[in-house]
Amino acid sequence: MMPSESGAESRDQAAAQVGTAAASAVATAAPAGGGPDPEASSASLGRHLSGLGWPQVKRLDALLSEPIPIHGRGNFPTLSVQPRQIVVRSSLEEQGLRVHGVRLHGSAASHVLHPESGLGYKDLDLVFRVDLHGEASFQLVKEVVLACLLDFLPAGVNRAKITPLTLKEAYVQKLVKVCTDTDRWSLISLSNKSGKNVELKFVDSVRRQFEFSVDSFQIILDSLLLFGQCSSTPMSEAFHPTVTGESLYGDFAEALDHLRHRVIATRSPEEIRGGGLLKYCHLLVRGFRPRPSTDVRALQRYMCSRFFIDFPDLVEQQRTLERYLEAHFSGADSARRYACLVTLHRVVNESTVCLMSHERRQTLDLIATLALQALAEQGPATAAALAWHPSGPDGVVPTTVSYYVTPVQPLLARAHSYPTWLPCN
């Protein structure tokens, strides 16, 4: 089980005591290799927390300072936004909504900690710990984010005629609200045509925020943001704020070791929405492998069972697959997209025990069709995968073929691209 989000505020406060106090203090030089600072990684922080070394802090600062285009629909101009500028903490607190902490989450956080993992990152996920007690809180979050976008419009634009609804239609790719007994959070994703979306997630409570240990990292940004506001002295190896990271998997050092050595590890995959099945196949294609002690067949059975519980309908399966492929293998990455689908085909074929034979065959046909589409985009290559080629015993999948396949029509008509399992405003 992952650490519960109840008690997250106390963890934030413990980490903030370290980070905020150090925002104007001289930091210890980072160890060779850019690993966590051993001083800040002391047992007093807890095993799930660790201080970042100087190379990691420098990467984090560069990532938060890099302008990201937010593309507008229709005639709306493209906005250039630095991630650190979109942090709406002060605006929320001015409106009476307390923000307990701001964090960088997911693949971007993993990239900051260890950029050589081979995973890279697409979306830039910012998590705001807030109190969402009712509908008014959800509405306030949406209004504050949309109002923030007004500040980035070019000079000469008549802001008086632009309503929040207009901004939402122009710049918001996805708007999600979840309000249940165990999960209370809101997500606002800002549009980027290259797939590098800025996602702002406002979390009161959530049962689980990670799938595998390598994507369980969150970096607490409060001290770095405070340093930028308060210090006129540029950061250096000898003078920079202490920044703390957390692994929601539980043991930070163990999770970081998994990231460095490309190890697949998780806990209770049956608790993950979709079972983590698609991410598991993605990691295999990226060169990650389960630990030797892992019962791979049992792990894959749990993943497949949960995936088909959450997505029992073939239309929903296609929609989910296409969304995932578009988010993680867009553009010229058709070779990896094909490899991921071949791997998924193998795993579903070997490990699915919860479907009737005709349902299983329909799903495998759907995956094969999508794989052929990805294959057709590659053009001529080697003869290694002339026929449908399963992955080898080490999980390696051929990514090119020696012939051109005429593009295949999808088995099903493309459905609406937005998820339907969450209530949206």
DSSP class per residue in 85-102? GG--HHHHHHTT--EEEE
Each residue's pLDDT tens digit in the chain (425 positions)? 434 444 444 444 444 443 444 443 334 333 334 455 434 444 446 899 999 999 999 999 999 999 999 999 988 899 999 999 888 888 899 988 999 999 999 899 999 999 987 777 878 999 999 999 889 999 999 999 998 888 888 888 888 888 888 999 999 999 999 998 889 999 999 988 877 889 999 999 998 989 999 999 999 999 999 998 888 888 999 999 999 999 999 899 999 999 999 999 999 888 899 999 999 999 999 999 999 899 999 999 999 999 999 999 999 999 999 999 988 887 667 789 999 999 999 999 999 998 899 999 999 999 999 999 888 887 665 334 434 454 444 444 444 433 333 344 444 444 444 343 444 44
* Beta pairing class for 244-247 and 217-220: antiparallel
Is 188:145 a contact under the CB 8 Å cutoff? yes
Rounded-to-integer distance, Cα 244 and Cα 52, Å: 6
Final residue belonging to a domain, choices 242, 261, 280? 261
Final residue belonging to a domain, choices 217, 234, 261? 261
Q: Are residues 22 and 148 in the same domain?
A: yes
Is 265:256 a contact under the CB 8 Å cutoff? no
Burial of 179 (0-12, 13-18, 19+ CB in 10 A): middle
pLDDT of amino acid 376: 87
Taking alpha carbons only, the member of 240, 259, 222 closest to residue 14 is: 222
Is 59:115 a contact under the CB 8 Å cutoff? yes
DSSP classification of residue 356: -
Could you tell me if residue 328 is inside a domain? yes
Could you tell me if residue 2 is inside a domain? no
What is the domain extent for residue 207?
Answer: 8-261
Could you tell me if residue 200 is inside a domain? yes
CA 215 to chain centre: 8
Q: Are residues 24 and 86 in the same domain?
A: yes
Instruction: Read off φ and ψ for residue 226, nearest 5 degrees.
Output: -65, -40
Instruction: Read off φ and ψ for residue 265, nearest 5 degrees.
Output: -145, 140
183's CB contacts (< 8 A; 6+ apart) are 205, 206, 207
Q: Are residues 226 and 339 in the same domain?
A: no
Q: Are residues 137 and 158 in the same domain?
A: yes
417's CB contacts (< 8 A; 6+ apart) are 319, 322, 323
Could you tell me if residue 1 is inside a domain? no
pLDDT of amino acid 314: 95
Q: Are residues 12 and 110 in the same domain?
A: yes
Could you tell me if residue 195 is inside a domain? yes
Burial of 31 (0-12, 13-18, 19+ CB in 10 A): middle
pTM: 0.78
368's CB contacts (< 8 A; 6+ apart) are 341, 345, 388
Helices (H), 163-271: 164-171, 222-230, 252-261
Could you tell me if residue 110 is inside a domain? yes
Q: Which amino acid is at 10?
A: S
pLDDT of amino acid 69: 92
Final residue belonging to a domain, choices 244, 261, 278? 261
**Would you state the structure tokens that stand for residue 272, as one six-digit string?**
């993950």
Could you tell me if residue 237 is inside a domain? yes
| Number of domains the chain is built from | 2
Is 342:305 a contact under the CB 8 Å cutoff? no
**Would you state the structure tokens that stand for residue 397, as one six-digit string?**
């999948």
Rounded-to-integer distance, Cα 106 and Cα 122, Å: 10
Q: Are residues 155 and 238 in the same domain?
A: yes
pLDDT of amino acid 36: 52
Could you tell me if residue 414 is inside a domain? yes
Rounded-to-integer distance, Cα 246 and Cα 87, Å: 20
What does 136-179 look like in DSSP terms, one character per residue?
HHHHHHHHHHHHHHHTTSPTT--GGG--HHHHHHHHEEEEEEEE
Exposed e or buried b for every residue in 256-275, given b needs 16+ CB within 10 A? bebbeebbbbbeebeebebb
Q: Are residues 309 and 224 in the same domain?
A: no
Q: Are residues 206 and 279 in the same domain?
A: no
392's CB contacts (< 8 A; 6+ apart) are none
Q: Which amino acid is at 23?
A: A
Q: Are residues 52 and 76 in the same domain?
A: yes
Rounded-to-integer distance, Cα 366 and Cα 46, Å: 46
Q: Are residues 100 and 231 in the same domain?
A: yes
Q: Are residues 112 and 131 in the same domain?
A: yes
Q: Are residues 253 and 326 in the same domain?
A: no
424's CB contacts (< 8 A; 6+ apart) are 175, 176, 177, 418
pLDDT of amino acid 35: 52
CA 307 to chain centre: 19
Instruction: Read off φ and ψ for residue 7, nearest 5 degrees.
Output: 90, 0
Looking at the DSSP assignment, which residues form a beta bridge with residue 220? 103
